[in-house]
Structure 1
Amino acid sequence: MPVPLLPSKLPDVGTSIFSVMSQLAAECGAINLAQGFPDYDPPQALTEALARHARTAGHHQYAPMPGLPRLREAISHKTAAVYGVPAPDPTTEITVTSGATEALYAVLAAVVRPGDEVLVLEPAYDLYGPAIRLQGGVPVYVPLRVPEFTPDWDLVQAALTPRTRLVMINTPHNPSGAVLTLQDLTTLAGLLADTDAFLLSDEVYEHMVFDGQQHASALQVPALAERSFVLSSFGKTYHATGWKVGYCIAPPLLTAEVRRVHQFVTFAVSTPAQHALADVLLEPEQYATLPAFYQHKRDLFGELMAGSRFELLPTPGSYFQLARYQSISSEGDVAFAQRLTRESGVAVIPVSAFYHDGLDHGLIRFCFAKRDDTLALAAERLSQI
Structure 2
Amino acid sequence: MSIQRFFQGDSGFVVSLSEKARKIGGIDLAGSYLSDGPYQPSAELFRELDDDSIRTLIPPYGLPELREQIAMYLRSNYERTYDPSEEITITHGQTQALFACLLAFLGEDDEVIIFEPAAEYYLPIIQLCRANPVYVTLKEPDFHIDWDELTLAVNANTRMILINTPHSPTGMVMSELDMLRLQRLINGTRIIVVSDETYKDLVYDTAMHQSIAMFPKLADCGIVISSLNIGMGLMVQSGFCAAPAEMMKKIRKVLHFSDGGHFVPLQKAMTHMVPDRSRIGGLAAYYRKKKEYFVNAITERTRLTALNSLAGCFVLLDYSQVSTARDTDFANMLLEQYGIAVAPYSAFFHDKQKRNLIRINFARPNDELEKAVDILGCL
CA shift in 2, pair 1:6/1:228, >3 Å: closer
Matches within 5 A, 1:361-376: 361-376=355-370
Q: Distance in 2 between matches of 1:7 and 1:297?
A: 41
Pick aligned residue for 2:62 from 50, 67, 73: 67
Cα separation, partners in 2 of 1:140 and 1:46, compared to 1, 3 Å: farther
* Equivalent residue letter for 2:56: Q
Q: Secondary structure, in 3 states, of the residue corresponding to 1:248? A: strand
Give the Cα separation in 2 of the matches to 1:82 and 1:371.
Answer: 31
- The Cα shift of 1:146 comes to 2.1
Give the Å deviation of 1:46: 4.4
Shift, 1:47, TM fit: 4.0
After superposition, the C-alpha distances for 1:125-183 in whole angstroms (9 at most, x for unaligned) are 01111111111100111111123211101111100011111000001111111110111
1:255 partnered with 2:231: no
AA partner of residue 168 (structure 2): N
Residue type of the alignment partner of 1:258? I
Task: Give runs of aligned pairs for residues 173-188 of structure 1, distance below 5 A.
Answer: 173-188=167-182
**Residue in structure 2 matching 1:273, options 266, 274, 291:** 266
In the alignment, which of 4, 16, 20 is matched to residue 20 of structure 1?
16
Distance 2:42 2:259 in 1: 23
1:229 is aligned with what amino acid?
A: I
Q: Does 1:325 align with 2:322?
A: no
CA distance in 1, matches of 2:149, 2:102: 23
Task: Give the structure 2 partner of residue 355 of structure 1.
Answer: 349
Matched AA of 2:74: T
Equivalent pair of 1:99/1:233 in contact (CA under 8 Å): yes
Contact 1:325-1:362 at 8 Å conserved across structures = yes
Q: Secondary structure at the match of 1:96?
A: strand
Cα distance in 2 for residues equivalent to 1:357 and 1:15:
12
CA shift, 1:361, in A, is 2.7
- 2:192 pairs with 1:202: no
CA distance in 2, matches of 1:86, 1:11: 37
Counterpart amino acid of residue 26 in structure 2: A
TM-score for both structures, normalised by structure 2:
0.95
Alignment of 1:341-352 (within 5 A): 341-352=335-346
Deviation of 1:346 (Å): 1.9
SS of 1:58's equivalent in the other structure is: helix
Structure 1: runs of 5+ lacking an equivalent: none
**Could you tell me which residue of structure 2 aligns to residue 109 of structure 1?**
103
CA-CA distance at 1:246 after TM superposition? 0.4
- What number of residue pairs does the alignment pair up? 378
Separation in 2, partners of 1:267, 1:82 = 31
Q: In the alignment, residue 98 of structure 2 is paired with which amino acid?
A: L
Query: Within 5 A, what are the aligned runs for 1:53-132?
Result: 53=49, 55-83=50-78, 85-132=79-126
CA shift for structure 1 position 352: 0.2
Alignment match, 2:162? 168
CA drift at 1:344: 2.8
Q: Aligned to 2:363, what secondary structure does the other structure show?
A: coil
| Regions of 4+ moved over 6 Å | none
1:127–1:157 CA distance, 2 compared to 1 (3 A): same
- 3-state SS of 1:275 partner: helix
The CA distance in 2 between the partners of 1:317 and 1:79, in whole Å, is 20
1:52 matched to which residue of 2?
Answer: 48
After superposition, the Cα gap between the structure-2 partners of 1:138 and 1:214, relative to the gap in structure 1 and judged at 3 Å, is same
C-alpha distance 107-42 of structure 1, shift in aligned 2 (>3 A): farther
* Distance in 2 separating the partners of 1:59 and 1:230: 30
- Match of 1:209, as an amino acid? V
Secondary structure of the corresponding residue to residue 95 of structure 2: helix
Contact preservation (8 Å) 2:166, 2:197: yes
Question: Residues 291-333 of structure 1: CA distance to partner in whole angstroms, max 9, x if unpaired?
Answer: 2111011101011112201010001111100011010000000
User: Partners of 1:52 and 1:29 in 2: how far apart?
Assistant: 36
Q: CA deviation at 1:82?
A: 2.4
The worse-fitting range, judged by mean Cα deviation, of 269-278 and 231-240 is 231-240
| Shift in alpha-carbon separation, 1:7–1:288, aligned structure 2, 3 A | closer
Aligned to 2:295: 302
Q: Is contact 2:11-2:124 (8 Å) kept?
A: no
Counterpart secondary structure, 1:124 = coil
Partner of 1:32: 28
Using the alignment, how far apart are the partners of 1:221 and 1:132 within structure 2?
26
Answer with 340-349 or 162-171: which moved more: 340-349
What one-letter code is carried by the residue in structure 1 that aligns with 2:48?
R
CA distance in 1 between partners of 2:321 and 2:279 (Å): 41
Secondary structure (helix, strand or coil) at the match of 1:321 reads strand
Alignment correspondent of 1:288: 281
Instruction: Tell me, in whole angstroms, the C-alpha distance in 2 between the residues paired with 1:51 and 1:143.
Output: 48
CA deviations on 1:16-72 (whole Å, 9 max, x unpaired) are 02221112213443211110112237833444323433x442342221331111000
Q: Which amino acid aligns with 2:272?
A: D
RMSD value, Cα: 1.7
Work out whether residues 177 and 321 of structure 1, in 8 Å CA contact, stay in contact via their aligned partners in 2: yes
| 1:43 correspondence with 2:36 | no
Question: In structure 2, how many angstroms separate the alpha carbons of the residues matched to 1:356 and 1:45?
Answer: 38
Q: Which residue of the partner structure matches residue 133 of structure 2?
A: 139
Q: Percent identity?
A: 33
| 1:37 aligned partner, one-letter code | Y
